[in-house]
Amino acid sequence: MKTNLPGLTARIMMLSALVIGVLAAAGCVYQLGSSLPPNLQTIYLPMFVNKCGEPQVENDTTRAAIQEFQKDGTLRVVPSAAEADLVLEVTLNRYKLTPLRYERDQSRTTREYRLRIGADVVVRKTKPAGILTRASVEGETTFLVAGDLTNSKRTALPAAALDLAHRIVETVTEAW
């Protein structure tokens, strides 16, 4: 059995072009790169405010957010608000441990937890001054208890902070 590959390839290409044309006409256009206005290129991240009751959470979450913005590359992180087009204000207000799995022989001993960190995010424009967006964001991770719970939480915190940071960056860069 012989197939007509050049004819089949041409039909597939024509069908693809037709689908793309229909989607573009319907307003379903996918954009590569940043959708931020061109006058917004820099962001300042002051230390996050910790109102969740868990000590030192603001250090890991602020550091993770700075690293995530640097990795994303849409906005350049600057050292002061005076140099920034945007200022990110984050208030950490939820820190919750939820038991997920218990020891088989000891139903009161938790073996695995989910750690959730919640935050309220405000993005301010510096020139002219004004609030651009507000959002509530949550980052999470799961972890097994190894040894005592305090050390296990401390070990799990960077993963939850990274997830929170990723969601903050998405909120800021995709709000447009």
pLDDT tens readout for residues 96-138: 999 998 878 777 789 999 999 999 999 999 988 899 899 999 9
Share of the chain above pLDDT 90, in %: 65
Q: What is the 3-state secondary structure (H, E, C) of the chain?
A: CCCCHHHHHHHHHHHHHHHHHHHHHCCCCCCCCCCCCCCCCEEECCCCEECCCCCCHHHHHHHHHHHHHHHHCCCEECCCHHHCCEEEEEEEEEEEEEEEEECCCCCCCEEEEEEEEEEEEEEEEECCEEEEEEEEEEEEEEEECCCCHHHHHHHHHHHHHHHHHHHHHHHHHCCC
Whole-model pTM over 0.75: yes
